[in-house]
Every structure is written in C-alpha cells, then in structure tokens.
Amino acid sequence: MQSLVILAHGSHLNPDSSAPTYAHADTIRASEAFDEVRTGFWKEEPHLREVLRTVEGDEIYVVPLFISEGYFTEEVIPRELRLAGWDVAEWDSDGISADQATLVAEDIGREVHYCGPVGTHRAMSDVIVRRAESVTDDPDVGEGFGLAVVGHGTERNENSAKAIEYHADRIRERGRFDEVRTLYMDEEPEVDDLPEHFESEDVVLVPLFIADGYHTQEDIPEDVGLCEDYRDGYDVPTAVDGTRIWYAGAVGTEPLMADVILERAADAGADLNDALATVRETTRVATGD
C-alpha cells in the first residue's frame, strides 16, 4: 500500500496558508496514484510530530511543500518525524539538488522515503512558467514579456536564493520570455525597483512562495507599488513607472504544483502509472479553443 504525505508550514493566524496543500493533495487523490494522501503541518494539525501515525500504508513517500533546502527541510522536519540517523549528507545536495533519503521514522518504526522540497525540483521551473500563463490567461505568454522571479532573499537561508537563480536560469535558457530576472524582498536587486530592471513593457511577477500570506498579499504589492495599501487591492496588470506588472501571487497556489509533488515521489521510487500525465493535463490553462 503506497502512501503520500505532504508536509507544509501552515499558520496559527492565516487560514489561507494550508489551502494550497489541501488543493494539491486533492488533485493527487483524484489521480489515484496513491492509496492514501495525508497532509501534516508545522503550525496546524495533524502536526509534523503526529502525521505519520495517521498513515496506514507501508510504502511511504514524504514530500515537503517548501521552497528551499534549509532549516525546515534539513532540521525541523527530520527531527519532528524522528528520522533515525538523519544527516543532511543523506541528500548529497549542493543546496538545490536534494533527492531523497530512506530512513526509519521512529514514530512508527517503519521506513519512509524523505524527499527533497518541491521548490528545488527541476519541474518547479515549469510551475513558474505555468503561473505566468495563468495570470495572463495566455498559454503562450512569453514574447514581449519579461519574467520576474521573486524570493525572500538570503537573510535567513543562502539556499533560498540558489533555488530562485536556478529556476530563473533554466527558464531564461528556454528563450521563451524576452528577459528573466531574479529580485528579492530583502536584498539587491530589490523587488521595489522592478521597472528599473526590465526593458519589457509587460512583466509577470511570480513570487516563489508556497502560500499566499503576509509577504505575497501585503508586502510585495505595496513594495512594488501596485497599491498604496494592500487592503485597497490592485488590478492585474497594474502599470508602475511605465511597466505593466502582472502580479501572480504565490507560485505554490498554482495547480501544477501537484505535479512537482508527484515528481518528487516518483524520483524516490513511487509507482505512479500515468498520474503525472493526468495531473499535467488536468491542471492546464485553458486555450480557449
């Protein structure tokens, strides 16, 4: 019996925090790739500490719905799940290349496949592009458009910027967008100065966050100048200093994120049959045909 466990941060204050986690879990349930799909949280319930005891399967894939490899994926989650013998070297990662580690979770006395976070998987580049398609409602968006990939910055974790640069490089190499730049909230180049970093008239701004919350709903819209006060709302697109900014909100809310979760599990050995193709198809942006 094959089980998937999706782990996320959650929130004591914001009901939207867990919404993408549940949405992606539902998408994956519908694909029938797993006998069961469970969700666990750091700040909600079931807590990371107790989620594994709600799992009935014996082939268990644990996928963290986090953007970067760092404090949560390398320290908090392995500790709370009680992964015996965990060492970050198990992932043999340069900060963006974690794969998986098979370890006994002492909570349940059974092996689990602990996967790297969704944010550093190569398929995440496709989600960023899909997010741009969603917010522009154009499955072919690219020509005449710039793409700004925005992250928190390195203040808390140097791998956070690595993940953002990694995906921006990959998307740039495809040549789909006229220009692709990385911007940050708390370091240079800053998202506040977005128009200065782009020549394109239209720029899609995709924040690399898992859920919408304080940063994506309040900080970024105000910092970029989409609005004076986030409570007033803003249009998509909104022109700021001559640049039309298409603000996408947290990339983690994009339905295709379910695909990255599946890719992580597949890389760790999960048998998914045609679930990957199914999920890619069911989460597509309509072409209007």
**Least CB distance to other proteins at residue 47 (A):** 6
Return the sign of the alpha-carbon dihedral for residues 244, 281, 151, 169: negative
Cβ atoms of 16 and 212 closer than 8 Å: yes
The only residue of 35, 58, 71, 85 in contact with other proteins, by rule CB under 8 A: 71
Radius of gyration of the CA atoms of the chain, in A: 19
Q: Report the half-sphere exposure of 3 (CA within 13 A, side-chain side).
A: 21
* Residue 108 Cβ vs other proteins, minimum distance, rounded to whole Å: 10
Residue (30 or 227) nearer to other proteins, CB? 30
Residues belonging to the chain: 289
Q: For residue 122, how far is the Cα from the chain centroid?
A: 11
Query: What tokens were used for 194?
Result: 């977005």
If one asks whether residue 12 binds other proteins (CB under 8 A), the answer comes out as yes
Does residue 42 interact with other proteins by CB under 8 A? yes
The reply on whether position 158 binds other proteins by CB under 8 A is no
46 binds other proteins (CB under 8 A): yes
* Contact range with other proteins by CB under 8 A, out of 73-81, 147-155, 189-197, 212-220: 73-81
Out of 35, 45, 173, 232, the residue judged to bind other proteins by CB under 8 A:
45
The DSSP secondary-structure symbol of 193 reads G
Q: Which residue has the tokens 């082939």?
A: 59
Residue 14 found at the interface with other proteins (CB under 8 A):
yes
Q: What is the token pair recorded at 209?
A: 């966050």
- Counting contacts by CB under 8 A, is residue 32 touching other proteins? no
Q: Which is nearer to other proteins, 50 or 235 (CB)?
A: 50
**Least distance (Å) from other proteins to the CB of residue 24?**
13
Are the C-beta atoms of 7 and 46 separated by less than 8 Å? Answer: no
84 binds other proteins (CB under 8 A): no
Compute the CA torsion angle 43, 44, 49, 55 (nearest 10 deg): -150
CB 115 within 8 A of CB 149: no
Minimum distance of other proteins from residue 9's CB (angstroms): 11
Residue 54 CB, nearest approach to other proteins (Å): 5
Catalog residues that contact other proteins under the rule CB under 8 A: 11-15, 22, 26, 42-47, 49-51, 53-54, 56, 71, 75-76, 79, 107
